[in-house]
Structure 1
Amino acid sequence: MSSQATDSTIKPEAVDPLGIGAPLPLAHVLSEPKVHPSSPQAPTHVKIYLQDDCLKHRFIRSRDASSIVERPERLRAVKIGLAAAIARIEEAEGALKPSDANFSVEVELAAALDKMNIAASDGGLIRARSISVTRSTATVDLLDNAAVKYVHGDIDGDVYLQNLKAWARDSEENITKKGSEMPEGTPPLDLYLCPSSIDAIQGAIGAVCQAVDAVIASTGKNAPAVATDPQRAFVAVRPPGHHCGEDTPSGFCFVNNVAIGAAHAHLKHGIQRIVILDIDLHHGNGTQSIVWQINEETYQQTLESEQLPSDSDVPPQNRGPQIYYGSIHDVLSFPCEDGKATFVQAASTSIHGPHGQYIENIHLQTYNSEAYFWDVLYKEQYSVLLKRASEFLDSTGGPGDDVLVFISCGFDACEHEYPSMSRHNRKAPTSFYHRFALDTCAIANVYARGRVVSVLEGGYSDRALSSGAMAHICGLVGETVEVDERWWNLENLIELEKATKARKFGSPSLGNTNREPWLTRTSELLSHFDLYRTPPQPSRNRAAPTSRTLRERKKLSGNSSTPEVASKPDKDTHTSVPVSNSLSISASASESEVMRPLSAKKLPRVILHVKPPENTS
């Protein structure tokens, strides 16, 4: 049976007022650099959220971390891309001068640190008119947060959340005793914990919820005339979340950051309609299963309310949110790589309206040229993800103050990702992250008062992360800035990597003092963004490296349709750049929860269950 369903009530496509999938201004003339002029709209404020606690989640099972791709160093690569985007935008706005190229990073850093408190604001560091940066210190308690319980709570109590905290708390002891901190049945290299992992997980959720609060505050009915909070946000956090279901950790993910952010928006701010757009290389099976269950419960509430007599004295029930989940992904990759019917069917589902479900899944394809990617794949296939979002919002009430848009922003489909991660050549040019952000913001401007919260998911090659983050941030502010897609071409990325190469004590290398102003400005910004450093890891008895490995994969075909810029580190499917051996582990937390045994159920599940917290609908 086909896993697809369509809604006959959806209106046929006519002229698209948003222009999604249509050529950008000046068209896609591929032989010429693509420059996108500013629009007459009011300036958009984008805030970037950094959370240092997210660096505390690290692999401690052995000192050999060469097979671990979800590593703390990912955030530095993202910060390089963010710093480069800000520098380029400042340059486009005329805020940089040639004299900036000779400015000493160390001198500027020492002066700026005396006057700034990036935890509260950027202290005047950012010169771009439309961007600000916050080092978030927000955090949540996994066992005492309504949004977390809404997504990951259990009918019989918070069993999964208690187990998660216990696994992290006892990780060192369990590694010594059993060789692994994770319970039997979990993938040995996809999931790992250390005593401070809970700090990272709770900090990631806190930063996402903080971004949601700020975006809604600046765009609500009572927002000030001149917004000081962002209409859009990018939250650079880890570990990622979109593979985690209600109580099933999977694929580096322990809680679902975006689903919790959506629940927070609903419970605290009354957001009733939510759009989640997932552009990670891998299908967000956890997010889809959570969305399915939430939509199912909302649909049942709607049916029950319709059965009440019109003269009933029963007060109207507060209904749950309606959520559209749309994903572009490689159906040959995790979690579908083994061809299991449940995963492949879930990653191929399209249903819009029946049973209260709004799901769209689109499979990435190979491409031989950028012309084919933009004129055929993006225009005719990938942009359908956004058109379905527009149809969902039209069918549920149109524009309103109750709408919020999320992006699950993974960069592992980028053309610069490791071939070992993107084994099936289902890739996208770096400019995809720019264009998709522009088109998402166009929808948000029409339906959601411009509200967009983008949250980091995957991406493992440093070049994929830095180039993708750079293009994505430019897209979030792009309609008021002249963005040149040459900013992230290969030549400039190589120069960026040289300018930001870390030295022994963590500062970026100064290299050529005669380099372009944007490169020096990037190094200066990175010195502020990447201040956090961990002390050397104390020596301890460690378990021998695990003998468990992932199964061998077939080598890539020699007929690659897009160039492989990043080289493959080694043969393992989850290979990464080796991680430093001098990683630190913070002291264990003081939780006193008793670890409960896992229930006997198959891992991972596809359709999971969600129970609202007490006293909520």
Structure 2
Amino acid sequence: MSTHAADSTIKIEPRSEADPLRIGTPLPLGQVSSKSAYIHPSSLAKAPTHAKIYFQDDCLNHRFIRSRDTSSIVERPERLRAVKIGLAAAIARIEEAEGVLKPSDTDISVEDELAAALGNMDIATSDGGLIRARSISVTRSTATVDLLDNAAVKYVHGDIDGDVYLQTLKAWARDSEDNITKKGSEMPEGMPPLDLYLCPSSIDAIQGAIGAVCQAVDAVIASTGTNPSIVATEPRRAFVAVRPPGHHCGEDTPSGFCFVNNVAIGAVHAHLKYGIQRVVILDIDLHHGNGTQSIVWQINEETYRQTLESEQSPSEPNAPPSTRGPQIFYGSIHDVLSFPCEDGKMSFVQAASTSINGPHGQYIENIHLQTYSSEVYFWEVLYKEQYSTLLTRASQFLDSTGGPGDDVMVFISCGFDACEHEYSSMSRHNRKVPTSFYHRFTLDTCTFADVYARGHVVSVLEGGYSDRALSSGAMAHICGLIGDTVQVDERWWDLENLIKLEKATKARKFGHPSLGDTDPEPWLTRTSELLSRLDVYRTPPQHSRNWVPPTSRTLRERKKLSRNSSTPDVASKPGKDTQVPVPVSSTSSSTSVSVPESEAVNPLTAKKLPRVILHVRRPDGTS
């Protein structure tokens, strides 16, 4: 792909047979105005692709109850509202691009919106006609699983000695209030106090998150099945907006807000239920998914052992074919200076820097985020020559194990905390990406999946803590999932439009948004209408009890960033309209400030980094 400047015309070059994906080709934003629309080549020839968004309201029940001071808690229920703002804006823009946004939408009053919201609170299995866009739908999932009675969960988090970790996790949550009253914390001593927290309803959130992920897997695989009526209604691509996140959790080691590994469980569910043998997991969170990589390594190791044994042991006549575990490619783009590597511990840094493709049956690729001096440099150098290598390696993995097939599925561990709009206290090292990264990388991943996996893509929310990072990243990401059906304009999430979006969706006293301007643009009015129906979160009442005083723990001192950083001003110097974290206040109970994962430590004790110990085995009763 190449561009020429004078008239900002985008010239689309045909793909070569040697590189059908055109991974890492020059992108137009580097050579034309940043205000120009970006048209991906796949949008010129593709048939409409249906994408579905999944919510699970049980995920809102995971809350910090240790004290009334939540100012240092960034993994909070309100994160999902910020995501819904971005998704509602994306849907409004997509409806506008498809020509189905009605002029009458601009006449909707706040009272009408609230009445509509009350009448649509029970959206469970469909969007009830709420979404007009042809290429996207929304499901409020009610799916859930039992941690102690689910084959995929036990495959990933089971233990040689039984379901010790899963039973312990349920006990931690069940006894959380009592333990806070008795000991001041619901988590065992030695676990980072602000990284991990539980309440009695956290298990509902965890089980609901897994249920929604597995439901999305079921739907995506059904979209290319043999039943025409099902195929017509199910999505080939899905985004599952759930919490708590999962990619830091190993087999029996919770870490970094994560208690179970949502994506790994989804991949194993696809393997056990549908025979998916080859899985690609692409992790674009700011932080390395150490838990996912450890689980993938152990699964691949077991599959490799099974392969060697079957090759060396002749099979008996008429013996059934031997069963093998899945082969998984794990690829991550992350900041190696941030959690879990921020303390420089060798095992974490080594794991986050490992790249191995084939030997010992392992397929791991880790790429470190870099600072960038301009968006031209980001797209033409970093994205083209480094970050897109993730998809190149994934292609090599699938080509070496049989090529495209029905047994392939693609997952995205989708964190938005590398976004240019993330809090500077979370993204301290200026290893950021432009918001449009979430659009273009998603487009490229979908093109990759179309070639290798019949288009099957399931994306699952991981990190992202600033409201602006979450809303803009989610907006760009969902436009990537359906972007080959409509012409997407990357100006939709530029700073000017994000500020308009925030004003239009700012929560007011009685829960409904303010439309801000007296004559808002149609897409903003439609966004507010959609949000009023999608966002049902209300802060649950707190039980009356003796609260633990606010923590006396302080943050470690950090060296100031060098003034000659090569990161552009837009990513490192907030202007007056740029979102910045709120100062920590012991009296704040509704506003969260961004504190990096694992920053809060007890000054009297050395911080203990969790080990990820894996003993993967197939659960009893599975083949």
TM-score, normalisation: structure 1: 0.91
Q: For residues 113 and 41 of structure 1, do their structure 2 counterparts lie closer, same or farther at Cα, with a shift above 3 Å needed?
A: farther
1:199 maps to a residue whose letter is D
1:136 maps to a residue whose letter is S
Q: In structure 2, what is the equivalent of residue 569 of structure 1? A: 581
Query: Which one of the candidate residues 124, 127, 133 is aligned to 2:129?
Result: 124
Q: For residues 576 and 542 of structure 1, do their structure 2 counterparts lie closer, same or farther at Cα, with a shift above 3 Å needed?
A: closer
Q: In structure 1, what is the Cα distance between the partners aligned to 2:609 and 2:52? A: 37
Q: In structure 2, what is the Cα distance between the partners aligned to 1:541 and 1:116? A: 34
Secondary structure of residue in 1 paired with 2:210: helix
1:608 maps to a residue whose letter is L
Q: In structure 2, what is the Cα distance between the partners aligned to 1:393 and 1:46? A: 24
1:251 offset after TM fit, Å?
A: 0.3
Q: In structure 2, what is the equivalent of residue 270 of structure 1? A: 275
1:87 maps to a residue whose letter is A
Contact 2:30–2:376 (CA<8 Å) still a contact in 1?
Answer: no
Q: In structure 2, what is the equivalent of residue 586 of structure 1? A: none
2:560 maps to a residue whose letter is K
1:458 aligns with 2:470: no
Contact 1:188–1:548 (CA<8 Å) still a contact in 2?
Answer: no
Q: In structure 2, what is the Cα distance between the partners aligned to 1:420 and 1:513? A: 36
Query: Which one of the candidate residues 596, 610, 615 is aligned to 2:616?
Result: 610
Query: Which one of the candidate residues 157, 161, 166 is aligned to 1:161?
Result: 166
Q: In structure 1, what is the equivalent of residue 144 of structure 2? A: 139
Contact 1:239–1:254 (CA<8 Å) still a contact in 2?
Answer: yes
Q: In structure 2, what is the Cα distance between the partners aligned to 1:546 and 1:538? A: 20
Q: In structure 2, what is the Cα distance between the partners aligned to 1:224 and 1:417? A: 42
Alignment of 1:525-544 (within 5 A): 525-544=530-549
Q: In structure 2, what is the Cα distance between the partners aligned to 1:125 and 1:44? A: 19
Q: For residues 567 and 25 of structure 1, do their structure 2 counterparts lie closer, same or farther at Cα, with a shift above 3 Å needed?
A: closer
1:113 offset after TM fit, Å?
A: 5.1
Query: Which one of the candidate residues 560, 568, 580 is aligned to 2:590?
Result: 580
1:449 maps to a residue whose letter is R
After TM superposition, the structure 1 stretch with the greater mean CA deviation from structure 2, 543-552 or 506-515, is 543-552
1:115 offset after TM fit, Å?
A: 6.8
Q: In structure 1, what is the equivalent of residue 3 of structure 2? A: none
Secondary structure of residue in 2 paired with 1:35: coil
Q: In structure 2, what is the Cα distance between the partners aligned to 1:570 and 1:413? A: 19
Q: In structure 1, what is the Cα distance between the partners aligned to 2:226 and 2:259? A: 35
Secondary structure of residue in 2 paired with 1:479: coil
Contact 2:252–2:612 (CA<8 Å) still a contact in 1?
Answer: no
Q: For residues 420 and 603 of structure 1, do their structure 2 counterparts lie closer, same or farther at Cα, with a shift above 3 Å needed?
A: closer
Alignment of 1:22-41 (within 5 A): 22-24=25-27, 28-36=31-39, 38-41=43-46
Q: In structure 2, what is the equivalent of residue 357 of structure 1? A: 362
1:604 offset after TM fit, Å?
A: 1.7
Alignment of 1:54-453 (within 5 A): 54-111=59-116, 114=119, 117-222=122-227, 224=229, 227-309=232-314, 312-453=317-458
Q: In structure 2, what is the Cα distance between the partners aligned to 1:500 and 1:341? A: 45
1:16 aligns with 2:16: no
Q: In structure 1, what is the Cα distance between the partners aligned to 2:173 and 2:401? A: 42
Contact 2:113–2:532 (CA<8 Å) still a contact in 1?
Answer: no
Q: In structure 1, what is the Cα distance between the partners aligned to 2:30 and 2:581? A: 38
1:579 offset after TM fit, Å?
A: 4.7
Contact 2:582–2:591 (CA<8 Å) still a contact in 1?
Answer: no
1:313 offset after TM fit, Å?
A: 4.7
Deviations 1:12-40 (A, max 9, x none): x9942101111357975235412316323
Q: Gaps (5+ residues) in structure 2?
A: 1-15, 593-607
Query: Which one of the candidate residues 515, 518, 528 is aligned to 2:520?
Result: 515
Contact 1:112–1:125 (CA<8 Å) still a contact in 2?
Answer: no
1:239 offset after TM fit, Å?
A: 0.4
Q: For residues 112 and 535 of structure 1, do their structure 2 counterparts lie closer, same or farther at Cα, with a shift above 3 Å needed?
A: closer
Contact 2:35–2:491 (CA<8 Å) still a contact in 1?
Answer: no
1:309 offset after TM fit, Å?
A: 1.9
1:317 offset after TM fit, Å?
A: 1.5
Q: In structure 2, what is the Cα distance between the partners aligned to 1:559 and 1:64? A: 37
1:526 offset after TM fit, Å?
A: 0.2
Q: In structure 2, what is the Cα distance between the partners aligned to 1:238 and 1:304? A: 40
Q: In structure 1, what is the equivalent of residue 595 of structure 2? A: none
Secondary structure of residue in 2 paired with 1:110: helix
Q: Gaps (5+ residues) in structure 1?
A: 1-12, 583-601
Q: In structure 2, what is the Cα distance between the partners aligned to 1:474 and 1:169? A: 40
Deviations 1:586-614 (A, max 9, x none): xxxxxxxxxxxxxxxx8522452212101
1:216 offset after TM fit, Å?
A: 0.5
2:516 maps to a residue whose letter is G
Q: For residues 53 and 569 of structure 1, do their structure 2 counterparts lie closer, same or farther at Cα, with a shift above 3 Å needed?
A: same
Q: In structure 2, what is the Cα distance between the partners aligned to 1:306 and 1:296? A: 15
Contact 2:501–2:524 (CA<8 Å) still a contact in 1?
Answer: yes
1:34 maps to a residue whose letter is A
1:442 offset after TM fit, Å?
A: 0.4
Q: For residues 445 and 25 of structure 1, do their structure 2 counterparts lie closer, same or farther at Cα, with a shift above 3 Å needed?
A: farther
Deviations 1:440-488 (A, max 9, x none): 0001001111000000000000000000000000000001110000000
Secondary structure of residue in 2 paired with 1:454: strand
Q: In structure 2, what is the Cα distance between the partners aligned to 1:84 and 1:24? A: 25
Q: In structure 2, what is the Cα distance between the partners aligned to 1:411 and 1:160? A: 29
Contact 1:460–1:576 (CA<8 Å) still a contact in 2?
Answer: no
Q: In structure 2, what is the Cα distance between the partners aligned to 1:302 and 1:274? A: 17
Q: For residues 183 and 374 of structure 1, do their structure 2 counterparts lie closer, same or farther at Cα, with a shift above 3 Å needed?
A: same
1:81 maps to a residue whose letter is G
Contact 1:102–1:514 (CA<8 Å) still a contact in 2?
Answer: no
Q: In structure 1, what is the equivalent of residue 598 of structure 2? A: none
Count of residue pairs the alignment pairs up: 584
2:531 maps to a residue whose letter is L
Deviations 1:276-320 (A, max 9, x none): 000000000000000000000000000011012265454322110
Q: For residues 493 and 144 of structure 1, do their structure 2 counterparts lie closer, same or farther at Cα, with a shift above 3 Å needed?
A: same
